[in-house]
Structure formats: C-alpha cells, structure tokens
A and B are shown apart, each in its own frame.
Chain A
Amino acid sequence: MVFLEFEKPLEVLYEQLEKLKEIGGDGEIDVTETIRNLENKIKNKRKEIYSNLTGWQKVQLSRHPERPYTLFYISQMCKKFIELHGDRCVRDDKAIVGGLASLDGQTVMIIGHQKGINTKMRQYRNFGMANPEGYRKALRLMKMAERFGIPVITLIDTPGAYPGLEAEERGQAEAIARNLFEMAQLRVPIICVIVGEGASGGAIGIGLGDRVYMLENTWYSVISPESCSSILWRSWDYKEQAAEALQLTADQMLGHGLIDGIIKEPVGGAHSYPEEMAKILKRHIKKALSEIMDMDPDVRIDVRIEKYAQMGAYNLAKEEPVKEKKKTEK
C-alpha cells in the first residue's frame, strides 16, 4: 500500500494491525478483540481524514499511483471490449485509448486517457499526456459512433496535453479545437467523467458532453496548481495556495455550475476500493445515459451548446459607454 502524506496516521495503524496479526498467528494469545478494535479505529480515522480534505490533498489523491485508470474501469464495467487503435494519419497514441464495448447490453464507444501502472508503462503511456493523434483518434472513434447511433463515454485523467515539439508540428491546438467543434454537434449522447486529473485543454479535448461528472477526489481546472504557482507566484512553492485559489475540487466546480454532478468515491478513495468504484461509476453512467438516450438529437445538441453558453461570470457596466466610435474627419 502507498500512503500519502496526510494518510500517515493510517499507515501507523496499519503497521500495528500487521504486528497484531503476526502475534495472533502464533496462536498463543487471543487477539481477535484487539484486532476488531483496531480495524474500527482505522475505519474511523479514514473517515476523519477523508471528510476534511483540502484542494491540494485531492490533487494528490487524483494522482495516487494505485488509482484505477481507464482500462481498469472498462474491464470492470464492460463486456466484449475491442480496443481500436490509431488516428489513420500518423500513429497510435498510447496516452488515449478507446474502443467499442457492451455496457449491460448497450453498445458504447468508450474513450479515455490512460496512465501507466508502473514505471515502464508510465513512459509507454507518456504519463497520460496525449499528442494530437490521440485527440484525432478519439474524434475518429466518436464520428464512427455517431454513424451507428452509439453513445460516447469519455474518462478523463491527464496532467495536460503533451507540450512537445512534434505535438506543435502536428497541431495540438487544432486537434483540441476540432474535437470541441465536433463534440459540440455530435448527434449521439456524450457522457464525460473526470476520473483523475482534469488538466485544462488536455482534459477538455475529450471533455465536452451532455453530462460531465467528477469523481469525488479529482480536480479540474485551467491549469495545474504547480504551474499556476510558478506563473502567478513566480515560485513552485505555492501549489497549496494555488489549489485553493483555483477552486478545482468537485464540490467547488459543481458549486459554480461548471459540471453536472459529483460521483462519490468509497471512503478511503477510489484507489482503496477500485472494484467498488467501478461499480459506482457504472451505475452513474447508466443512469445518465438513460436520461439522455431518447432525446431528439437536435434538441440534445441545442441543450448541450446552451449549457456551455451559460458558463461565465460577468458584470454589466452601470454606465453605457459611447456606442459609436467616430473617426476624425479627413
């Protein structure tokens, strides 16, 4: 088990539990009662820790090395998954995966960022940072889904779109912009879930949908707290403050009306109970799909576009400024 800094009190208790179990294994002393007490203590401590998480702690949880990723969720939620590779132009991007699958009998196109599960795989997956061909593969799959009336599900978990030389050459910005343009008017339902990190353009590049949810311990914003700290505070040391200032947690995002809902994680986080998390996620996706599957596609697209059109906060100036700009006479 990997314990984050704020989980240290739990680590101590777990160590005690291990020792007790060893002692109990010897069979000389009955420790069942003590073990039960300790397990209760762990449960309560966990609840205590997890009910008071700061923004930065949620950022850390969203990056927990044992957190489940897209392919795990697909394997748990779906049957008959067939992964589809490549953008048909350049190559297959390993940081975004996707394919057809059956969600309790309903065919879906499921697409998501994929981070690696160990050091070697993290390299292979480019840490979940997609290149343009990843976004273009995603779009290819979505357009195919549209042709066959198959709903689209995207799982988002990225520290950002890859800021590389080739990414720029092949039009990272254009790829994301094109996805936004096409997803806005895709004729099939789109459900998006932030399952880990929701970093800016890299996230929204597959994140425009009829329903957008965040798992409880994730973050979603225009920039990571670290980068925000380095730019606005001119130092990497203010990531905690930046995380608070950005209001990037699921609660805050819902409070601002920028997402449609929060999906609760088991106490202790998705990484502690991945199978259970997958069950909860599946339940939410199915419910969301049932709400929008039968809508008229034109209406669904209008509602989708108007939802985003409402997102923005501004004042109206009290004094109407001069409306017409006059050019001076020749």
Chain B
Amino acid sequence: MGWVKRLKDGIQTATRNKKEAPEGIWYKCERCRETSTTKELRENFYKCPKCNYHVRIGSHEYFDLLFDGNYDLLFEELRSTDVLQFTDLKPYPDRLKEAYKKNIVTDAITVAKGKVNRRSLLVAAMDFRFIGGSMGSVVGERIARAIEYGIANRIPLLIISRSGGARMMEAAYSLMQLPKTCGRLTQMARAKVPFFSLMTDPTTGGVTASFAMLGDINMAEPEALIGFAGPRVIKETIKRDLPEGFQTSEFLLEHGFVDTIVDRKDLRETLSDLLFLFEESKLAAIGKGEGSAEMEPAEEEFPGEEEG
C-alpha cells in the first residue's frame, strides 16, 4: 500500500518540473531507438518506457524525484573562475559562459536540502550538461561545504555522481579537490553522519577516485559506465577489445565495489529506507532496550506521507 502511494507520488513529483525534461513532445531512446512521448518518459522516472534505459538527467530532476516537497538550494553563490587564464582551442571563460547560457545549473554540482519521506537529506547532484560534469574548485567546495553542513546539522548526505572526471581547465586545482573532499569525508565518518554515494552514467576519473567510491553505501544506477580510466584509454593501452559489460554498474557489483544497483523508480524508496535504518534514535534503540523500533516500517510511523 505504502509502496503504491509512494510510486504514485513519484510520478506526480516527476511531472512537476517540466523545464528540464528532454525537449519536444517525442523522446527517441538513445539505446533502443524506440520513440515515446516525453510525458511517458517523465512518468516513468526518466527511463525509456520500452527498454528501461536510464536517461541522463540533471540535478533538479533528481531533487524532484527524491524530495517530498520544496527544497532549499545551498552554496549557489559559489562560481567557477579562470584562475590559470587557461586557453586551449577556446578560453575557459568562454566555456563557462556557454555553460551558464544553458541556464540549467550554476556549476557541475548542485546542493539541496530537503525531506525524503519526512526525513532530512542533503543531496549533492552532478549535472553532465555543465562542462561534462567536470570537477573544478566549485564542485569540490560545494561538496566540502555540504559535508560540513551535514556534520553541523547531523543530516545525512547523498552525492549523485555523473562526471567525466577532472576539469582540465583548472589543472592541479581540480586534482586537489580529491584530497579536499576525502579529507572532509573522514570528518563526516568520525561524526557518524551517513554518506550515501550514487554513481550514474558516467562516473569516471577523479570523481570515482575520490568521494564516489567512499560511500557508507555505494549505489549505482543500472548499466551506468563507472571506472577510473575511460574505456578508450584502456583499449589503447591494452591493444585489444574490452569485454562486454566492462565497467558497467553490474560489473562493479560483481567485483565488489558497489553495494547495490538501484532502479531509478526505487531510488526514493531506497533512500527513505536507508534514512530510516540509519536514524540515530534507531541505532541507539537496542542499547536502550527499545529494540522493537526497527521492525516498524516508516509509513506506519508517519501516516499521511503522501501529502508531499
């Protein structure tokens, strides 16, 4: 019953924010090439209704899928800067301008605070449309601040990774976001505030080699590309074809690097359950002789959850 309600709620949530859905009325699947309407796509949690391909969605789509209702954006004032005066075929400021012009997000990660089934959660979601979801100083700083915020307010953190890796235009500044975010995560671990990592298509390079792999729970969306080196580089190095399914979520699950693969329609439910299971009062319950609490499903504790 609760499950059905939440599923229904998820659908309604998904239809609320229309501006970032794939443009036009029709969606042609990148994988199976079948056509469906964008409405069908939205109602199916941005998965292809024909083949379940998880479309690459952005930060705000995840917020709408996950949160009960309104949510607050945090650390939006932080903006990328061209600290190295970096120019390749194009100056870095031009790349930034182009990214801002899309008017989708203010950098490759957006942090929001909201409620999932009435429990607080911080979500830092990457967006591939901002310079390939690359990690520069702002991505590192927003994550670092999200962790600090989570520790100070004892709110668990979910980071949704979708990144090609480093932002080369910030060179070593980009590299230093690895030790920076990992250092902060040790403090979150010490404070015993849970950190959940969700890896989506694609998660590679410095993002995988830092926070994305360090979740108390590592999750992945189905069939996402997850790895350290990109497949092209590996192929050039070993000079042979890569096996079928190499570096997919399923491959990582099989090799022991993710805890669970979560279909996007179950994401909210999974997070809700995790928040329930990790809730501090419940972790302390047995010690206090109140061991029955963890047996109760969340929806019985919080009737009327579907109000959102």
Contacts and interface: CB of A to CB of B under 8 A. Distances in A.
Interface of A: 161-165, 167-174, 176-178, 180-181, 183-185, 200-201, 204-205, 207-208, 220-223, 228, 231-234, 238, 241-242, 245-248, 253, 256, 258, 304-305, 308-309, 311-317, 320-328, 330
A282 to B, nearest CB: 26
Nearest to A169: B255
Contacts of A256: 83, 172-173
B180 A221 contact: no
Interface centre among B69, B172, B177, B180 (most CB of A within 10 A): B172
Interface string B222-246: 0000011100011001100011001
A200 B173 CA distance: 11
Given A177-B214, A184-B186, A168 B209 contact: no
B228 A176 contact: yes
Nearest to B204: A173
B172 A323 contact: no
A258 B73 contact: no
Contacts of B70: 324-327
A168 B246 contact: yes
Interface string B79-119: 11101101111000000000000000010000010000000
Contacts of A177: 178, 182, 208-214
Contact of B209 (A173, A232, A312): A173
Contact of A325 (B60, B186, B257): B60
Contacts of B141: 312, 314
A201 B178 contact: yes
B233 A170 contact: no
B79 A185 contact: no
A197 B53 CA distance: 41
Given A165-B243, A309-B184, 4 more contacts: A201-B175, A245-B84, A312-B137, A322-B73
B178 A180 contact: yes
Contacts of B255: 169-171
Given A174-B257, A305-B183, A313 B87 contact: no
A173 B81 CA distance: 28
B213 A164 contact: no
A150 B256 CA distance: 32
B205 interface: yes
B284 interface: no
Contacts of A309: 144, 180, 183-184
Interface string B58-71: 00100110000111
A129 B191 CA distance: 36
B220 interface: no
28 contacts: A164-B237, A173-B208, A173-B228, A177-B178, A185-B190, A201-B206, A201-B228, A208-B183, A221-B175, A223-B168, A233-B88, A241-B88, A246-B84, A256-B83, A258-B173, A309-B144, A311-B176, A311-B179, A312-B138, A314-B81, A314-B138, A315-B81, A317-B77, A321-B73, A321-B76, A325-B63, A326-B70, A327-B64
Main secondary structure of the interface of A (DSSP, over half): mixed
Interface centre among A164, A201, A207, A233 (most CB of B within 10 A): A201
B80 A315 contact: yes
Contact of B175 (A162, A169, A204, A238): A204
B172 A181 contact: no
B213 A308 contact: no
B171 interface: yes
B170 interface: yes
B174 to A, nearest CB: 5
Nearest to A319: B77
Interface stretch (B9-17, B37-45, B263-271, B291-299): B9-17
A185 B186 contact: yes
Contacts of B69: 327
B180 A168 contact: no
Contact of A168 (B60, B187, B229): B229
A180 B137 contact: no
B171 A311 contact: no
Contact of A312 (B60, B140, B243, B257): B140
A168 B228 contact: yes
B187 A165 contact: no
Contacts of A314: 78-81, 137-138, 141
A232 B84 CA distance: 15
Contact of A315 (B79, B174, B186, B187): B79
Ranked nearest first, the 10 interchain pairs of A and B with the lowest CB-CB distance are A163-B229, A312-B137, A313-B83, A173-B208, A232-B88, A180-B182, A305-B183, A173-B228, A311-B176, A172-B228
A181 to B, nearest CB: 5
B247 interface: yes
A305 to B, nearest CB: 4
Contacts of A322: 73
Contact of A313 (B173, B183, B233): B173
A222 B174 contact: yes
Contacts of A328: 16-17
A82 B126 CA distance: 46
A279 to B, nearest CB: 28
B234 A164 contact: yes
Nearest to B218: A174
A168 B64 contact: no
Interface string B142-171: 001000000000000000000000101011
Nearest to A181: B182
Contact of B183 (A201, A223, A253, A308): A308
B185 interface: yes
